[in-house]
Structure 1
Amino acid sequence: MRFLFKTSYDQDIDLFRHNGQRFWYALLLLALLAAPWWLESYGLSQLSLMLIYSVVGLGLMLLSGYTGQFSMGHGGLLGIGAYAQAVMNAQGWPFVLSIPLAGMLAAAVGVLFALPALRVKGIYLAIATLSVGFIIEEVLARGEPVTGGNSGKMVSRPQAFGWTLEGERPFYFLCLAVTLICLWGVVNLLRSPTGRAFVAVRDSEVSAQCMGIHLARTKTLAFAISALLTGVGGALYAHFITFLTPDSFGILHSIDLLLLITIGGLGSLHGAFLGAVFLVAAPQLISQAKDLLPDHIAQAPGLKSAVYGLVLIGFVMFEPRGLYGRWLKIRTWLQLFPFYRRGLFARQKSYQKSERLK
């Protein structure tokens, strides 16, 4: 196993814990930068979708995984960002301005989500955010002069200063750049006093309040930042699907986003990316598996939902920490082999949440 001995303050504030992390993350970044040259157009578009969902997953992970606030209305916030980007893009706004502004508009709406969070929690908070999501969907359907209503709205390619991002390759690099910026911001936020306040509220609201943390301000800020990231992801998502309808941002999309962070691993930024990979890759794997199944099963209309439900039940029962939690156990087993002990991970339950979910 690796033991870290920090001898300077610079080591403590470094984004990377050790040189091994720096090497593997640099290798991953090089692979992503080289992806347009070793992936075909379809594979590159799917990778772009993974990056978009990663941005949205970072926002929801910050809210649910690190602040402990449950939301079932983020599909509506995704729609706010998408429609805002579509309107500004149609008016000729450059994407370097329209994408942040779409996120800010979603953040303003996200503050409305925070209002019920100040008074309720648990299942009641889920119902309250679900209601706000339904309201957003209805507003998008009724605002025909701006959103096109149920008839939908076309979205053209991103443009800036007379330059249009045509093709999959430029759009992929835009998604990659936005993802890296959002990841850098979230990592630094979690290391700041604000991020530590988020974790304190998640672990115990009473203890956090006793430590001087303002609960209302902290929860409102968490919802706003989460909505900001979701709106930015929605702006990119609008250019990806190129045609927007209100029912594309309803309860089913919100459930998919919750599935993303749950299967990826709550309380981990890695989990947001692993969950995005699952959310994009799972439909492809299901469609390929249909060829191996009997016709009466392969053609069943609820096959995808059934598979998602079984996978979610399996993770909740056998691996609550998600894909990233499973990877941590595999990595620890490899580091300790052949001295691994069977009951090593059973003792994790005695730790605080902030110690387990790193």
Structure 2
Amino acid sequence: MSGLRTAWRHLWPWALILALAVPAMGADYALGKATLVITYAIAGLGVVIVVGQAGQIALGQAALVALGAYVQAVLVGRGLAPLLAMPLAIAAGALGGALASLPARRLGGLYFGMSTLAFALIVEEVLARWDSVTQGAAGMAVAGFSVFGWRADATLAQALVSLGALAAALLLCARLVDSRHGRAWRAVRDDEVAAAACGVSPAAAKMQAFVVGGALSGLAGALYAHWIGFISPEQFGLVFSFELLMLAFIGGARRLGGALWGALVIVAIPQLIAVLRDHLPGDWARAAGLELVLFGAVIVAVVLLRPSGIAGARP
């Protein structure tokens, strides 16, 4: 029941925001953006588990999203039902997380972070070169999500499917954070030596966190592939990894709700800035790179005013 309360506590503000956005922005546009925010939030939950709960530096989370997206796209393209392909996409993300965590047995801190960055570069290069399966740099078209003949073609259907996946992910994460696994993650985050002295294996705890984070990223990748309808390796590059990392810190890396608020900032703020640009005086409206400057200013303001993130610092 505590997991259900946690999921509801994090989701009800979103329902309110969406209810206000639909009449202001139009139903299709608002629901489309809401779907993208939710997809980012699911991937962001994986970052919160790895970075906020386990205290590890993860610079290649986009590679795990890519694994889920490509496994889903390839299997669906070969005739497997999307609902049956999704568990395999989640498993691919989890396996990728386990592989990315292997250097943690010998490396720590920034050195381990660099190893995750190298893992992401390897995955991106393999996806770009494996033409016979991934169609290489040309990318792949992905069919829409369907269940027993019902197709999620409308933006409302896509938003509801994504929202259901987010609720399930939140429920799972809430239970894990309150379990012995969550306590082990936080013990390793706070002091590895003390955790080991208390019988916690730091290497095992890190791998568990990466497996859970990878599974969430695989789920996000599978949904992303269906909603976007086309995937290519450059979509999952380093910029996407840094966006996910920034998402967690903006929202609050130590709270599950931080993934939701961070995703809202990362996806919605650039859209709002683009709308505001049209109302600026002539020279300002035509200034090159204005969106990046304003977006950077928003991020700096959040960091200065809320150092622990929008959602706060509690686990």
TM-score, scaled relative to structure 2: 0.90
Residue 216 (1) aligns with residue 181 (2): no
Superposed CA RMSD in Å reads 2.6
* Residues 157-176 of structure 1: pairs in structure 2 closer than 5 A: 157-176=144-163
Contact 1:82 / 1:236 at 8 angstroms: preserved in 2?
yes
Residue 107 to residue 220, structure 1, CA distance change in 2 (3 Å): same
Structure 1 residues not aligned, in runs of 5+: 1-12, 326-355
Deviation at 1:83, TM superposition (A): 1.0
Look up the match of 1:73: 60
Deviation at 1:160, TM superposition (A): 3.0
Deviations 1:236-276 (A, max 9, x none): 01112111111110000011111111110120111111011
Residue 61 (1) aligns with residue 48 (2): yes
Q: Distance in 2 between matches of 1:22 and 1:156?
A: 30
Deviation at 1:172, TM superposition (A): 1.6
Contact 2:250 / 2:310 at 8 angstroms: preserved in 1?
yes
The number of equivalent residue pairs is: 313
Deviation at 1:297, TM superposition (A): 5.1
Residue 26 to residue 280, structure 1, CA distance change in 2 (3 Å): closer
Deviation at 1:319, TM superposition (A): 2.2
Q: Distance in 2 between matches of 1:134 and 1:142?
A: 12
* 265-274 or 83-92, larger mean C-alpha shift: 83-92
Look up the match of 1:261: 248
**Larger of the two Rg values belongs to structure:** 1
* 120-129 or 252-261, larger mean C-alpha shift: 120-129
* Residues 244-323 of structure 1: pairs in structure 2 closer than 5 A: 244-293=231-280, 298-300=285-287, 302-323=289-310
Residue 129 (1) aligns with residue 116 (2): yes
Residue 178 to residue 33, structure 1, CA distance change in 2 (3 Å): farther
Letter in 2 for 1:133: A
* Residues 155-234 of structure 1: pairs in structure 2 closer than 5 A: 155-234=142-221
3-state DSSP of counterpart to 2:311 = helix
Contact 1:256 / 1:279 at 8 angstroms: preserved in 2?
yes
Deviation at 1:110, TM superposition (A): 1.2
Deviation at 1:90, TM superposition (A): 1.4
* 269-278 or 94-103, larger mean C-alpha shift: 94-103
Residue 48 (1) aligns with residue 5 (2): no
Residue 357 (1) aligns with residue 302 (2): no
Residue 307 to residue 254, structure 1, CA distance change in 2 (3 Å): farther
Residue 66 to residue 22, structure 1, CA distance change in 2 (3 Å): closer
Residue 125 to residue 300, structure 1, CA distance change in 2 (3 Å): farther
Deviation at 1:28, TM superposition (A): 5.2
Structure 2 residues not aligned, in runs of 5+: none
Letter in 1 for 2:104: A
Residue 43 to residue 30, structure 1, CA distance change in 2 (3 Å): closer
Q: Distance in 1 between matches of 2:183 and 2:99?
A: 23
Q: Distance in 2 between matches of 1:183 and 1:195?
A: 14
Deviation at 1:25, TM superposition (A): 6.5
Contact 2:185 / 2:205 at 8 angstroms: preserved in 1?
yes
Q: Distance in 1 between matches of 2:70 and 2:162?
A: 18
- 1:85 pairs, out of 63, 66, 72, with 72
TM-score, scaled relative to structure 1: 0.80
Deviation at 1:27, TM superposition (A): 5.4
Look up the match of 1:5: none
Q: Distance in 2 between matches of 1:23 and 1:79?
A: 29
Contact 2:3 / 2:172 at 8 angstroms: preserved in 1?
no
Deviation at 1:279, TM superposition (A): 1.2
Deviation at 1:292, TM superposition (A): 3.7
3-state DSSP of counterpart to 1:266 = coil
Deviations 1:60-92 (A, max 9, x none): 101101110111101111111111111111122
Contact 1:140 / 1:149 at 8 angstroms: preserved in 2?
yes
Deviation at 1:36, TM superposition (A): 11
3-state DSSP of counterpart to 1:68 = coil
Letter in 1 for 2:174: V
Q: What is the aligned-residue identity percentage?
A: 37
Q: Distance in 1 between matches of 2:115 and 2:132?
A: 28
Deviation at 1:117, TM superposition (A): 2.1
Residue 112 to residue 194, structure 1, CA distance change in 2 (3 Å): same
Contact 1:36 / 1:169 at 8 angstroms: preserved in 2?
no
| Higher RCO (CA < 8 A, seq sep 6+) | 2
Residue 318 to residue 171, structure 1, CA distance change in 2 (3 Å): closer
